[in-house]
Amino acid sequence: MRFEEKIVLVTGGARGIGAAICRAFAHEGAHVVVADIDLKAAQKTATGLDHQKNEHLPVRVDLTHKSQILKMVELVAKEFSMIHILVNNAGICPLTGFEDISEEEWDQVLNINLKSAFLCCQNVLPYMKPTHCGRIINISSAAGKMGGVLVGAHYAASKAGLLALTWCLARAYAQYGITANAVAPATVETDMTRAWGQAKLKQLRKKFPLGRIGKPDDVASAVLFLASDEAEFITGEVLDVNGGFLMD
């Protein structure tokens, strides 16, 4: 029960990696806010979480709207009065080739994957600072370190941006006892990657020395470690969770 009494906000928490992160925190005693654009799925995920002494809050938020992010944070603050852990996980991943990326699609990917993390951090920090033990964890990607193998340039650029955001936060908020770290998975089996089709996933599997692509729980374990007391001296780190896909 490493996270008893901790308040955790997970964006994109309704499914895939986000849902696995919510389940893992709830299992270890945290109160979890499942924030997602898909309220029904968020409610379903929240209902399925471990409830012992902890309570969970599904929240609908479209992270492309600053006003909705502000409302979400206000709601969480009203319910729990503080936020210990923020996981910026929501993301979209179009596979569009470079010359076919429209300006609108570029903006949409950057808004959801990067700008929303900036806005969530900016609005959550006032509720995190008084805890003196805050944790920010950004879900980046191997694509943000090496360029996308299959995924679009906008996606890779957004995930690289998340790394720089992580380092800036780590430097600026260390004085408040807040750490900021990133997790960089390679391919993980979720709705996002299942949409690519089994043939592509089979091809990709061959690139993983450990012989399989990732599972959402692989990423959740890394997130929980970075959020734990054991990681209190780790900040500005990028933790690869990729089965050996990228070794740097």
Ligand X SMILES: NC(=O)c1ccc[n+]([C@@H]2O[C@H](COP(=O)([O-])OP(=O)(O)OC[C@H]3O[C@@H](n4cnc5c(N)ncnc54)[C@H](O)[C@@H]3O)[C@@H](O)[C@H]2O)c1
Q: Which residues are catalytic?
A: 155
Cβ atoms of 182 and 140 within 8 Å: the answer is: yes
d(CA 31, CA 81): 12
Binder among 54, 123, 141, 166 for ligand X (CB under 6 A): 141
Alpha helices in the chain (DSSP H): 16-27, 39-47, 66-80, 103-110, 116-128, 143-146, 153-173, 191-194, 198-205, 216-227
Residue keyed to tokens 């043939």: 199
In the complex, minimum distance from the CB of residue 14 to ligand X, in angstroms, rounded to a whole number: 4
In the complex, minimum distance from the CB of residue 223 to ligand X, in angstroms, rounded to a whole number: 10
The window from 10-18, 78-86, 196-204, 228-236 that contacts ligand X (CB under 6 A) reads 10-18
In the complex, minimum distance from the CB of residue 65 to ligand X, in angstroms, rounded to a whole number: 8
Stretch 36-95 residues interacting with ligand X (CB under 6 A): 36-38, 61-64, 89-93
Residue among 130 and 244 whose Cβ is closer to ligand X? 244
- Answer yes or no whether residue 134 interacts with ligand X by CB under 6 A: no
- Answer yes or no whether residue 190 interacts with ligand X by CB under 6 A: yes
Q: What is the edge-to-edge ordering of all strands in the sheet holding 238-241? A: 57-60, 31-36, 7-11, 85-88, 135-139, 179-185, 238-241
Stretch 11-30 residues interacting with ligand X (CB under 6 A): 12, 14-18
- Answer yes or no whether residue 187 interacts with ligand X by CB under 6 A: yes
d(CA 70, CA 104): 24
Residues of the chain by 3-state class (helix, strand, coil), percent to 5: 50, 15, 35
Binder among 134, 152, 185, 243 for ligand X (CB under 6 A): 185
Residue among 14 and 32 whose Cβ is closer to ligand X? 14
Binding site for ligand X (CB under 6 A): 12, 14-18, 36-38, 61-64, 89-93, 112, 139, 141, 185, 187-188, 190-193
